Amino acid sequence: MYNDLSGVGRYQVLQPDFQLVIRHASGALFQEAHLEAQLSPDSWFPGFEGPANVRPRITPRETGIYFTPPALARTLAEEATREIPDLGTRELLIFDPACGSGELLKETLRLLKLKGHVGPVRVIGWDKSPAAIDMARFVLYWEVRAWQPGSVNVEISSRDSLAAEAWPDGVDILIMNPPFKSWQLMEPGEKEAVTLLFGSSNKPNLAMAFARRSLDVLRDGATLAMITPNSLLEASSGRPLRKAIAEILCPQLIARLGDQGVFSRALVDAGMYVGRRNPAGQIIPAIVWADSQPNSLNRALRGLEDGAEPRRSL
């Protein structure tokens, strides 16, 4: 606001809400920090041994791990929390088997709070990266500050979800951005895990193994919300999984993102899938198809949010 009472023009602005700033900025900040810690060939980040020397033409090697932009994280969390049975009256179990820096879990917790859930919440996140686990714990413990003491139990641990004998059972919300990796780029252990699920005749993306295991741990009324490779939605390698999903889940959202640059430093053709197991009422699914124009994805996500009410269960 302009003020000339002192004879000198000046601007007065509101003091920033630093808790809000950290909430919105931490995900992207931690994801970038994790990327440097894991992939920087100069190895300067972990101990800060000396001045940073990041060569401008260096590009990260292929890992299959692409961090979720905040806009997509919010959209996926909104869809995951759209219809929850017995909201506010029982413990909810939220699970992310590839939690990274915890962005999806954080957004899910935030939306549950906004929707008025006051019952206990159990949050479980697994990831193979120790750096990611540390970041996720910080982000989630910060988010838990907005809840009543003792109402949220956060369990973040360093685990290989594919190698784990069992996943948590009775999950209410399984939300994830699983690692995208083609058969040719998989490690021997990953290929073995995928073969156990799909057989040797098919060579699906690694993300499909996460999706297939997810189907076995959802309780009635639970939601699976995930970022998907488009091969799951349309390629022949995804046909067995599409059949399994159709037999177990009712689709709530099927989206193709269109913009291959949506994931930082990667060209990934991705989409979103949200489905519910044995919902109490009929679900009117939404189909989103964004093209490759610069602003198409943002307009599509805003349109999805604006048209949310007519899609509620009947």
How would DSSP label each residue in 176-229? E-PPP--GGG--HHHHHHHHHHH-SS----HHHHHHHHHTTTEEEEEEEEEEEE
Residue 51's pLDDT is 46
Residue 297's pLDDT is 76
Handedness of CA 27, 31, 32, 37 (dihedral sign): positive
The residues pairing with 11 across neighbouring beta strands, listed in sequence order, are: 2
Q: What is the dihedral angle through the alpha carbons of 65, 69, 73, 74, rounded to the nearest 10 degrees?
A: 180
Residue 88's pLDDT is 63
Residue 29's pLDDT is 62
The CA distance from 101 to 223, in Å, is 21
Task: Look at residue 127 and give its three-state secondary structure.
Answer: strand
pLDDT above 90: percentage of residues in the chain: 39
Please report, for the chain, the start and end positions of each structural domain, with discontinuous segments joined by +.
11-221
pLDDT in tens, 79-136: 999 877 666 677 899 999 999 989 999 999 999 998 888 889 999 999 998 888 998 9
Spans of the chain below 50 pLDDT: 1-5, 7, 43-45, 48-62, 310, 312-314
Q: What is the pTM of this model?
A: 0.79
Residue 311's pLDDT is 52
Q: What is the CATH number of domain 11-221?
A: 3.40.50
